[in-house]
Chains A and B, each alone.
Chain A
Amino acid sequence: MYNYNEFDHSFVRARVEEFRDQVERRLSGALTEEEFKPLRLKNGLYLQLHAYMLRVAIPYGTLNCKQMRQLAIIAEKWDKGYGHFTTRQNIQFNWPKLKDVPDILDALADVSMHAIQTSGNCIRNVTADHFAGAARDEIEDARMTAELLRQWSTDHPEFQYLPRKFKIAVTGSPNDRAVTRAHDIGLRTIRDAEGRKGYEVLIGGGLGRTPMIGKVVREFLPKEDLLPYVEAILRVYNLSGRRDNKYKARIKILVHETGIEELKAQIEKEFVSRKSEFPGVNPDLLQTIERDFSPPEYDRLSVDDYVSRIAHDPEFREWVKNNVARHKVPEYGIVTVSLKPVGGTPGDATAYQMRVMANLGEKYAHDELRVSHEQNIVLPHVPKAHIPQIYDELTKAGLATPNLGLLSDIIACPGMDYCALATARSIPIAQDIAKRFDHLQLEQEIGPLKIKISGCINACGHHHVGHIGILGLDKAGVENYQITLGGNATEDAHIGTRVGPGFSSEELIPALERLLKSYLKLRKSPNETFYNCYNRLGMDPFKEALYPHLKTKHKERTGH
């Protein structure tokens, strides 16, 4: 993984000092609250419902074990002993005190970490495929592109006061695990007819109150043109993006209102002009990045014990089936540690659990960990020979829930338990769903299913792209949950369709139970997933399951 050099260290340290000074100037009155706000946001500091929240960057979700241990220390020393991993591959601490924040930033800098540009109207922390470098299907490790973009976008003088936040995601695989089509810019590594690597560039994706799927703005962008092209997109957006209405300020609205063809022409014009004077990226720097992301030295250990444990231990077998993915090296596996125990808060990890994962990574998995946008932790390079020990140690720490990609592997935003914007709770809903289906023992039977929950229309829980999306709203002081079906977050990204009127929190779980039980009856075979079944049959049978009284009325009316 990327190793900080002298420059990175000095930069991050200087940034901490700068923020310390800004906090002092706020306290002295030299900066007004309004002037201070974007400065604190650019350093990851939010004001939440009950307290400040610090969002720490984990660039493209990659961290080493020492860094994970430091996060555990921060959680214990300055927070309540836990942290929350987010859909943008970051970690949030929910209870820091303002006066402690510069010290926390210093502690982060000690292990080459920071909170720069994790918030505010600037280019945010760049996200990437959490299986990058390990996935069997990849063309290139997406993190090399993401790291280049991290350096380029950090403190970029032209783009610190954009109309709105700006999110970039990169995938190096045709199978998109980074939701690139729901980002302001999505980059997909592809090859052209001659086999050269480049990018398909998408713009204008985003969820929120106006969900949109990104559109292709450049079918093939040669690698060396990446920075001038991205600069051209950002410049056109900075000059033309709307600033009159916060909710219409993202680039997706500019794409929608201007039209992709017209915007594309503007970007290409800007690009030609920028490219003519662009000196190119320093080749030494590119080489350093490439070297840092070269694969670890793989140990080709015997897989016999692993195979025999699978054969003899059904619980282990089930966990492997769900939580271990194929690695590009046959003797290796990609292990995902679920942070979704039944009844737990999706994405939360205690300091103790962070240390367990750090120890496992160091001992067995080439000192590397990943945060997935689905709020789990990945050990990307694990010799299969070590997987049984890892499983046993995870089990002891309550981290071996075998639910990856299943019903209870839910993405949920913090909701009304933490967030000032939320209109409904989402964490307790996720917990209730997991508990109910655990009680019914139907999770494994139902199979692959993505449930995503947002506690308000800003859609931080990605509900638009869940196979089942749940949106919590406030209806005259009462929580009300709308269900959408058929969303998809992959390369075939799709916005789900709202089924009908919302449910109260008491009605919601029985409604989901009816929905999924009817799926079990409707599917052609156990191999037909909920998503595929929905796409085959369409909305109607599922709508009937959710609203049985509508069905009765319909029957009465038509006589069927």
Chain B
Amino acid sequence: MSKIVRDHGFDQDNLKEEDFITLETLRKGVENPVRLDLNNDENPDELQPFFCWVELIRISFPDFNDGRGFSMAKRLRQLGYQGVLRGQGYLIADQYRMARLSGFDEIEIDDLLAARQPEWLWQNQALKKKLSYQDRLLKTG
């Protein structure tokens, strides 16, 4: 079982594994909007032509030390992807804000991690509670 971390706290995961398809399946063509699994060594650029067919992209974090997912999310947003972005796997609460600022909407973690790093820890990382140099640095509006 998994928990979905969102800004307000934990939600139960209503999706099943069979609700996700791979990039390879997507390339063959689909008929309805799909949810896509993306490994963190796959090239996000290849997805651009399919953006209108994808409502959720789930990017894997096999290890919390492997920060590729942050740049993948950022690039997908930059390329114009507007659907849901979910990070999945091994991320710690201290990385939640980094994920949100890189373009993720939510993080999927397993129950074991959720028990060790409870809801309030993730809630503490909510964006409005933290100061950001990058926000301040750029022209606003």
Question: Would A158 and B98 count as touching, CB distance under 8 A?
Answer: yes
Interface of chain A, main secondary structure: helix
Question: Would B70 and A157 count as touching, CB distance under 8 A?
Answer: yes
Given contacts A22-B94, A157-B97, is CB(A239)–CB(B138) below 8 Å? Answer: no
Partner of A7, one of B130, B131, B138: B131
Given contacts A155-B132, A161-B67, is CB(A285)–CB(B74) below 8 Å? Answer: no
Is A11 an interface position by the 8 A CB rule?
A: yes
Given contacts A30-B117, A35-B64, A235-B74, is CB(A157)–CB(B137) below 8 Å? Answer: no
List residues 33-66 of chain A with CB under 8 A from any CB of chain B. 35, 38-39
Question: Would B133 and A161 count as touching, CB distance under 8 A?
Answer: no
Question: Would A30 and B121 count as touching, CB distance under 8 A?
Answer: yes
Question: Would A157 and B139 count as touching, CB distance under 8 A?
Answer: no
Give the CA-CA distance A148 to B100 in the complex, in Å.
Answer: 24
List residues 268-312 of chain A with CB under 8 A from any CB of chain B. 270, 273-274, 277-283, 285
Given contacts A35-B92, A151-B137, A238-B67, is CB(A11)–CB(B131) below 8 Å? Answer: yes
Interface of chain B, main secondary structure: helix
Is A316 an interface position by the 8 A CB rule?
A: no
The count of chain B contact residues (Cβ–Cβ below 8 Å) is: 34
Question: Would A154 and B131 count as touching, CB distance under 8 A?
Answer: no
Report B39 CB to chain A, min CB distance, Å. Answer: 12
Report B41 CB to chain A, min CB distance, Å. Answer: 9
Question: Would A30 and B116 count as touching, CB distance under 8 A?
Answer: yes
Q: What are the residues of chain B within 8 A of A38 when measuring CB–CB?
A: 65
Given contacts A22-B94, A152-B134, A282-B138, is CB(A161)–CB(B64) below 8 Å? Answer: yes
Is A364 an interface position by the 8 A CB rule?
A: no
Q: Which of B66, B74, B94, B139 has the most chain A CB atoms inside 10 A of its CB? A: B94
Give the CA-CA distance A161 to B99 in the complex, in Å.
Answer: 11
The count of chain A contact residues (Cβ–Cβ below 8 Å) is: 41
Given contacts A151-B133, A152-B133, A157-B97, is CB(A279)–CB(B68) below 8 Å? Answer: no
Report B59 CB to chain A, min CB distance, Å. Answer: 12
Partner of A160, one of B68, B98, B133: B98
Give the CA-CA distance A155 to B135 in the complex, in Å.
Answer: 11
Report B102 CB to chain A, min CB distance, Å. Answer: 5
List residues 355-391 of chain A with CB under 8 A from any CB of chain B. none
* Nearest A residue to B73, CB-CB: A158
Can you show 20 pairs from A to B with CB atoms below 8 A apart?
A: A10-B131, A25-B121, A29-B116, A30-B116, A148-B137, A151-B133, A157-B70, A158-B74, A159-B70, A160-B67, A160-B98, A238-B67, A239-B68, A243-B66, A243-B68, A274-B78, A280-B139, A282-B136, A282-B137, A282-B138
- The 4 A-B pairs at the shortest CB distance, nearest first, are namely A161-B67, A157-B101, A157-B98, A238-B71
Q: Which residues of A contact B (CB under 8 A)?
A: 7, 10-11, 14, 22, 25, 29-31, 35, 38-39, 121, 148, 151-152, 154-162, 227, 235, 238-239, 243, 270, 273-274, 277-283, 285
